[in-house]
Amino acid sequence: MAFLDFLFGSPIKRHGKRVAERDAQAEDREESARWLANEGSDAAILALFGRYNLQIEHTLKDQREKDLVTDLLVELGPQATAQARVFASENVIFHGAVRVVERVEGAAAAVELLLALLARERVEEEFKIDKKKNLLIALAERRDPRIHDATVRFLSDFDEGVRNAAVEAVATQEGDAAREALGALLRNPEEESTRIRGRVAELFALRRWPAPDDPWLRDHMPSGFRHVDGRISRG
């Protein structure tokens, strides 16, 4: 077996390559996925996660293949969730790994993984912003008392898209902390994005939050909004 591995490469590497190969037949990718799941070692499981990095043109087929991979990984239980955390930490695309963790360990564990990944991202990072933005978007779909403190720092990120995602993540959480953080953003003269300022004003109007009592804000309301009687309203 060692001699054959020398000639043709290890089976895990061969199947790991094929499961994420765009030009491979769907049947061959599925065969490799099942082989890796049955092999069951940490290396094979990590290779199986590689299928999430491939996006094929046929959306429905792509999703069916990824659903199969998810089901195979979920059946492996804790061993798969351990490798899910490794994969998510090393790759920009993390959604499949989080889904596996959530199905095996529950929603709280999925949030914990997302927060751990976000903790590694820096506000001042000028490159490779896609992962932190997508992490914030993923957290905006969830409610958890830990999310506010982890996401609020990105309201001052240099990238507008990241700040916008942070607004949504903060706004999704319950309590006064979201209102206070977004109010501070709204009255910050350094926030020049009309999209972000408009979205925050919209949140204040929709939720009937008390508006910050700030002279500068009253004179610089986003277009289409008014500061009247301690509230923000459209008009």
Predicted local confidence at residue 48, as pLDDT: 98
pLDDT at 123: 78
CA angle 101, 106, 109 (to 5 degrees): 65
Please give the pLDDT value at position 124. Answer: 67
Question: In this predicted structure, what is the pLDDT of residue 126?
Answer: 64
**What is the reported pLDDT for 213?**
87
Domain with 76 in it: 1-105
Q: What is the DSSP string of 145-159?
A: TTHHHHHGGGGG-SS
Residue-level pLDDT at 201? 97
Q: Cα-atom radius of gyration of the chain, to the nearest Å?
A: 23
Locate 81 and state its tokens. Answer: 């969730």
Burial class (CB in 10 A: 0-12, 13-18, 19+), 225: buried
Whether residue 43 lies inside any domain: the answer is: yes
In a domain, residue 20? The reply is yes
Look at residue 194 in the predicted model and tell me its pLDDT: 96
Query: Are 48 and 33 in contact, with CB atoms under 8 Å apart?
Result: yes
Residue 30 lies in a domain: yes
How many domains does the chain divide into? 1
pLDDT in tens, 40-60: 999 999 999 999 999 999 899
CA distance 64 to 67: 5
pLDDT in tens, the chain (235 residues): 443 343 346 899 999 999 999 999 999 999 999 999 999 999 999 999 999 999 999 899 999 999 999 999 999 999 999 999 999 999 999 999 999 999 999 999 999 999 999 999 987 666 679 999 999 999 999 999 999 999 999 999 999 999 999 999 999 997 899 999 999 999 999 999 999 999 999 999 999 999 988 999 999 999 999 999 999 999 8
Proportion of the chain above pLDDT 70, given as a percent: 94
